[in-house]
Structure 1
Amino acid sequence: MLLTVLGCSGSIPGPHAPASGYLLEADGFLLAIELGPGTFAALQAVRDPFDLDALLFSHLHADHCADVASLTVLRRYHPAAPHRRRLPVYAPVAAPTRFAAAYATDEADRAATDLSDVYDFAALRPGKVHIGPFEVVAAPAAHPCESYSFRIGHGGRTLAYTGDTGVCAALTDLVEGVDVLLTEASWTHAADRVPDLHLSGRDAGEVAAAAGAGRVLVTHIPPWTDADAVLAEVRAAYTGDVVRVEQGAVYDI
């Protein structure tokens, strides 16, 4: 599996830094995980967007899915589109109406807009689903909306992606023994942090250490957060390989 980072800025895009978006590729199948603000431009810099075989969303906050509107325009109106097949989308149940609302021009259009000519929506549920060559296990995340963390397996290797979440039993079980953990770490640790929202650097390190994760990739650090302090917390709790992901970087899982 090859993981390409389209964007990794937490909560909002930063200067020249798209928000959350990743490509995961294996056996010629290209899966996009999240498509936050700025990631569609980054995608076009590295791949033809028509190469996408499926989309996977952990939740529907804008920093993880806002660029779906631009992808919709491309797939619906490109005059020389190589095909018009519907793109499979695996996402929380509200995705069809939320994505239509983001795409619509006004309230009346919002009620009538139907994106089913562009996308084939499949509502996520806790449990296992196969997306192309990938076995994806979704677990409920601790976040203020329907949200999931993912464990993705292929060829005997596993990648876990926390999405946005606080520490919870479902996350701990999901990441047990994973080869690579792609984890958010949105802030440093403090007693007054809002519960069930995000991981601190210490949280992320402790989850990785308890799971025996083989490698940790840290992502989703907001522009206002001290990234060095977050990474120091991760490394204090987890003694394995820790990398802060970079936009445009490719990681061999």
Structure 2
Amino acid sequence: MKLTIVGCTGSFPGPGSPASCYLLTASDGDRTWKIVLDLGSGALGAIQRYTDLEDIDAIFLTHLHPDHCMDLCGLHVAVRWKPGGWNRDRIPVWGPAATADRMATAYGLELDPGMHEEFDFANWTERSAVTVGPYTVTPYAVNHPVEEAYALRVEVTEPGDDGNAVRRILTYSGDTDSCSGLEDAARDADLFLCEAAFEEGRDDAVKDVHLTGKRAGEAAEAAGAKRLLLTHLPVWTSQTTVLAEAKPVFSGGVAVAVAGVHYTI
């Protein structure tokens, strides 16, 4: 499984990266499947560096803050108005219950049909897995001040180099502060892609919104994750600071996500 960091800046796009968006690529032995975790503001342009839009097999949204979902509006335009027509069926979109109506409202559409002609919307059920190609994706409710927010556990079984099946796990935190759901989602993950928007000391008065590098590291350690990749850093949060917070509390490898970088899991 390959992870491409399309966008990793928190809260709004930064000068070097769109907001949250992650492209996963994996094979089932017959063909390559591509799924997208979040499609935040600014991400639709950047993702076209790595894939044709028509090759996206499904989109999975962690929650409905604009920096995680708003470029679905632009993709709606691409699907609806591409000259010659869109050459695939509707794109499956999993998300919170309000996703379809929120996107229609954001674009100024009537709720019926809204964007239902372009997207096949499905609602998350907490800890109930869905399967697309080789991916099994399970949502875990997490601690963020919206009606529904989830971490996503992505499990993939691919053919190995020796022909035997290989199972890999990526967990993506979405946005959250510390909680048991996050640790459950990240249990034994090969790669834990975890937000660290806040800094210790600077943001201590703000509870139940975001993690610091320290709290992300603690969650990774408690979950037994193998690698930790810190993401969703706003422009005012220091990479150096969150790394320094995470390293003393996490025994595995830790780095900060950079837009345009690919990781093999």
TM-score band by shorter chain is over 0.9
Query: Which blocks of at least 5 consecutive residues in structure 1 are unaligned?
Result: none
Per-residue CA deviation, residues 175-213 of structure 1 (Å, 9 max, x unaligned), is: 121111000000112373322111111000111112221
Structure 2 residue matching 1:34: 3-state secondary structure: strand
How many residues in Structure 1 have an aligned counterpart in Structure 2?
249
Instruction: Give the Å deviation of 1:20.
Output: 0.3
TM-score, scaled to structure 1: 0.94
TM-score computed with the length of structure 2 as normaliser: 0.90
Which of the numbers 200, 205, 217 marks the counterpart of 1:189? Answer: 200
Alignment of 1:14-25 (within 5 A): 14-25=14-25
Q: Which deviates more from structure 2 when the two are superposed, residues 109-118 or residues 38-47?
A: 109-118
Letter in 1 for 2:136: E
Pick one of 42, 52, 57 that aligns with 1:53.
Answer: 57
Matches within 5 A, 1:218-233: 218-233=230-245
List alignment gaps of at least 5 residues for structure 2.
158-166
- Contact 2:21–2:40 under 8 Å retained in 1: yes
**Aligned-partner Cα distance in 1 for 2:145–2:123:** 18
Residues 70-123 of structure 1 deviation map (CA, whole Å, 9 limit, x = unaligned): 10000000003451511100000000000111122xxxx445552111000000
Over 3 Å counting, the alpha-carbon distance change for 1:189 and 1:43 in structure 2 is same
Cα distance in 2 for partners of 1:64, 1:203 equals: 21
Contact 1:75 1:84 in 2 (8 A): no
Does the aligned pair in 2 maintain the 1:159–1:182 contact within 8 Å? yes
1:172-187 superposed matches below 5 A: 172-187=183-198
- Partners of 1:193 and 1:180 lie apart in 2 by 30
- Is residue 176–residue 208 contact of structure 2 (8 Å, CA) maintained in 1? yes
State how far apart, in whole Å, the 2-side matches of 1:114 and 1:186 are. 33
Residue 252 (structure 1) shift: 0.4
Cα distance between partner residues in 2 of 1:188 and 1:87: 37
Aligned to 1:6: 6
| Deviation (angstroms), 1:132 | 2.3
SS state at 1:45 partner: coil
CA–CA separation in structure 1 for the residues paired with 2:183 and 2:67: 24
Q: Does the 8 Å contact 1:177/1:212 carry over to 2?
A: yes
User: Residue type of the partner of 1:160?
Assistant: T
Aligned position for 1:208: 220
Give the Cα–Cα distance (whole angstroms) in 2 for the partners of residues 207 and 193 of structure 1.
20
Query: 1:125 matched to which residue of 2?
Result: 125
Q: Distance in 1 between the 2:195 and 2:13 partners?
A: 15
Supply the distance in 1 between the matched residues of 2:237 and 2:107 (Cα, whole angstroms).
31
Supply the AA of the counterpart residue of 1:143: H
Number of the residue aligned with 2:76: 72
Residues in 2 aligned to 1:93 and 1:237: alpha-carbon distance in whole angstroms: 36
Q: C-alpha separation between the residues in 2 aligned to 1:112 and 1:240?
A: 49
The CA distance in 2 between the partners of 1:58 and 1:163, in whole Å, is 6
Structure-1 separation of matches of 2:204 and 2:170: 31
Q: Distance in 1 between matches of 2:2 and 2:59?
A: 16
Structure that is richer in helix per residue: 1
CA contact (8 A) 2:41 2:66 kept: yes
Matched residue, 2:181: 170
CA contact (8 A) 2:20 2:67 kept: yes
Structure 2 equivalent of residue 153 of structure 1: 155
Give the match for residue 162 of structure 2: none
Cα RMSD (Å): 1.4
On the 8 A contact 2:80/2:86 being kept in 1, the answer is no
Identity %: 41
Deviation per residue, 1:123-174 (Å, 9 max, x gap): 0011222122111111101011110001111121111111100111111222
